[in-house]
Amino acid sequence: MIQIPLALVADYANVSREGKLNILGVFDQVYAPNVPALHPQMQLVMTIVADRGEANKDHAIKIELIDADNIETIFRIEGKIKFEQPKSGEDVRINQTIQLNHVVFNKYGEYSLKILIDGKVQRSIPLKVVKPPMP
């Protein structure tokens, strides 16, 4: 079984040499005075946990950003992941950051950043594009 207990969008994140996950500027809204709006950089941050039975197998991973109506796909990233065999009695635990550059939102509203593993949605992160609040 594979799970994603943590998934979010942030301004910046990294994984230290010791495996610690460092996150700055977690958000779920993008402020845009006009659309289409270009968001220069954000990071998808996630922790993937898999039991020992999932080790040494190829798993398909897909990350896609779609609008609320499932009509427009902003981007899609596809690849494969393979978990190494963990120490005896432990699950596999991976902290991962993915930098997303130059994301263009064509309209205001709700979006969803979906993380699929082996074709199954493991996590969905809501994201809104809104006009900035009035001062």
> What are the structural domain ranges in the chain?
2-130
Residue type, 57: K
Q: Cα(17)–Cα(127) distance, rounded to whole angstroms? A: 30
Under-70 pLDDT residues of the chain: none
How confident is the model at residue 53, as a pLDDT?
Answer: 87
Query: Which tens digit of pLDDT belongs to each residue from 102-121?
Result: 999 999 999 999 999 999 99
Please report, rounded to a whole number, the percentage of residues in the chain having pLDDT higher than 70.
100
CATH class of residue range 2-130: mainly beta
Cis before residue 86, ω within 30 degrees of 0?
no
Dihedral sign for Cα 8, 124, 56, 77, please: negative
- Could you tell me the pTM of the whole model? 0.89
CA distance to 22, 26, 129, 132, per residue, from 32 (Å) = 27, 17, 7, 6
